[in-house]
A and B are shown apart, each in its own frame.
Chain A
Amino acid sequence: MATMKFMCDAERCIECNSCVTACKNANEVEWGIQRRRVVTLDDGEPSEVSISVACMHCDDAPCIAVCPTETLYQRDDGIVLHDKDLCIGCGYCLYACPFGAPQFPKTNAFGERGKMDKCTFCAGGPADTPEEEYQKYGANRIREGKLPLCAEMCATKALLAGDAQEVADIFRQRVVRRGHEDGGWSGNPRRERDRERAGHDLSAADLAHDATRQG
């Protein structure tokens, strides 16, 4: 079975925030909640880089591990979903998540946070009817054979979504074209010189660095 993954190629992201808008629009999420965000590092400096982040649908998801009510669960295809009926708003998923994906509509006294919301990979969530599903979790594009709207909308194809193997293949081709192991992130010759000096292998084997083989 395919394992679904997001991958944001920071070299291509132009910080247009279309993914954020597309997500908001596809899923009609509650006011104040933004499932996807674009983070820009070193804004305005020569080293500026942007990356789009939402739930990364981790293989070993910390949110699932710490949730006291088993609100969060992983489908066979790797998509991490949540059951709004089980959520008690304790906020543990928010403490644990590496990517700041889980969000709550409120942060009131006595831990009144309301029901958690997070990216569903446009795969909806548990509900009796499609209407209820849309109202609670937003679109279920996966059921319709479509990919998450954020990735589909991405103009520079920085944000990739789909079967991990295919995403990795596309990204690997880009990395190879960029010409070195660090091509995933950069084409910085200074860095390359440093690596050469440090005795790293910059030969063809390095060029064909297989991103999918990494753990």
Chain B
Amino acid sequence: MSITISSRGTRWLMLLVLSLLLTLAVGQPVHAQQADADPGQEAAFAVPAVDADTWRQIRSGETGPNYRDSRADSTYSLINASGETWRQWRNRWVSPFGLIVIGAMLLMIAAFYLVFGRKALDEPRTGRKLWRWPLLVRALHWSVATLFILLALTGLILLYGKAVFHPLFGDGAWAGMMSTTKLLHNYAGPLFGILLIVLLARLLRHNWPRKYDLAWFRKGGGLVGKGHPDAGFANAGEKVWYWLLATVGLVVIASGLVLDFPNYGQGRDTMQWANLIHAVGALGLTAVALGHIYIGTLGTEGSLEGMTTGYVDETWAQEHHNLWYEEIKDQAVPETQLARDEAASPGGDDPAPRSG
């Protein structure tokens, strides 16, 4: 029995040894090759090929299909190189030059006012009024104007406030001030956007460019040479302001919305660009708005009353908007009659005809 088992066992053993030998015989050349190989060659297969080029690639923001980030829902690359570019643009160019542009505008306006003073009417007022701005336009204008000033001030505080108010107020008041500032800016922004678009739509028909606008520019809006250049309901300067708002203004609104609604998942790069466009556009518009505010209030006699009461004096219309005046001069209403109407129905409807 035991012999049988042992002989069977021997046979198994023999088979095992044979198969092992066979494996070795086949495997031998491979082993020999590896033993003879240059250790460096071996290392080339064993060690990852991460070198300076890889890191350069990473710095360029490249991620690739086999990029993994252990942070939940992360969309980040390893190195956000555009962040530094954004910082340099914002801090080295946009901030200082925004201040320079707005400061220069203020100085120019102040100098102009000191040298030339208020632009008074050449002729005395006739006492007869022309209907220029209906209530809807005035309401829209002042809403947009209020929001614009609010957004400009809060925007300026967000950009420059830390240099002025933080040392002035100390941490406590500064913290409250800044969170309010950001809240106002973020919530007033979309409202401003909607109202501006309505206002622009309402005023579009007055602002199409005309041939006589070129002559207005050549005469610098009346600064060069004598007399007033031709102007329709809106003069060429007002049209420029209109089209600035209709182009740059809308871009500022759109870029603002990109920043204001991060819930749509836009990336850092998108928001960096939106921020730069927003800042450049808004600072530029703020500077031009200062000119608009000056001309509309302090700079020109008889302009502001149009936007407050809706009526302008006949003389003002004749001098500043002669072509418009020619169209509607027969609709002038005496001041005394207006006062009577106002007394009869205070806060009454817009009088006909509407020309605004």
Contact residues of A with B, CB < 8 Å? 10, 15, 17, 20, 32, 34, 37-49, 51, 53, 62, 65-70, 83, 85-86, 88-92, 94-100, 107-113, 182, 185-191
Q: Is the interface of A mostly helix, strand, loop or mixed?
A: loop
Q: Quick check: B175 and A69 within 8 Å, CB to CB?
A: yes
Q: Quick check: B80 and A43 within 8 Å, CB to CB?
A: no
Report the Cα distance A32→B71, complex, angstroms: 9
Q: Quick check: A39 and B69 within 8 Å, CB to CB?
A: yes
Q: If A39-B69, A70-B166, A188-B47 touch, does A96 touch B182 (CB 8 Å cutoff)?
A: no
Q: Quick check: A49 and B48 within 8 Å, CB to CB?
A: yes
> Distance (Å) between the CB of B282 and the closest chain A CB?
14
Interface residues in B40-73 by Cβ distance below 8 A to A read 40-41, 43-45, 47-52, 54-55, 58, 64, 66-72
Q: Please give, as numbers and ranges, the residues of chain B lying within 8 Å of A67 by CB-CB distance.
A: 162
Report the Cα distance A44→B67, complex, angstroms: 10
Q: If A66-B91, A107-B262, A107-B263 touch, does A48 touch B48 (CB 8 Å cutoff)?
A: yes
Checking B55, B71, B187 against A185 with a beta-carbon cut-off of 8 angstroms, the contacting residue is B55
Checking A40, A53, A110 against B260 with a beta-carbon cut-off of 8 angstroms, the contacting residue is A110
Contact with A along B63-91 (1 / 0, CB 8 A): 01011111110101011110110110011
Contact residues of B with A, CB < 8 Å? 40-41, 43-45, 47-52, 54-55, 58, 64, 66-72, 74, 76, 78-81, 83-84, 86-87, 90-91, 158-159, 161-162, 166, 171, 174-175, 178-179, 181-182, 186-187, 190, 259-263, 265, 268, 271-272, 275
Known interface pairs A69-B166, A113-B262, A186-B48; 19 further A-B residue pairs with C-beta atoms within 8 A, sorted by A's residue number: A41-B64, A42-B64, A46-B49, A47-B48, A47-B50, A49-B50, A49-B54, A62-B87, A68-B159, A86-B175, A88-B178, A91-B262, A92-B275, A98-B83, A100-B74, A100-B80, A110-B186, A111-B261, A185-B54
Checking B43, B66, B190, B265 against A45 with a beta-carbon cut-off of 8 angstroms, the contacting residue is B66
Q: Quick check: A89 and B68 within 8 Å, CB to CB?
A: no
Report the Cα distance A110→B161, complex, angstroms: 21
Q: If A66-B87, A98-B81 touch, does A186 touch B50 (CB 8 Å cutoff)?
A: yes
Q: Quick check: A43 and B262 within 8 Å, CB to CB?
A: no
Q: Quick check: A191 and B49 within 8 Å, CB to CB?
A: yes
Q: Quick check: B76 and A17 within 8 Å, CB to CB?
A: no
Report the Cα distance A20→B262, complex, angstroms: 26
Q: Quick check: B70 and A95 within 8 Å, CB to CB?
A: no
Q: Please give, as numbers and ranges, the residues of chain A lying within 8 Å of B44 by CB-CB distance.
A: 188-190
Checking A10, A15, A110 against B50 with a beta-carbon cut-off of 8 angstroms, the contacting residue is A10
Report the Cα distance A86→B158, complex, angstroms: 13
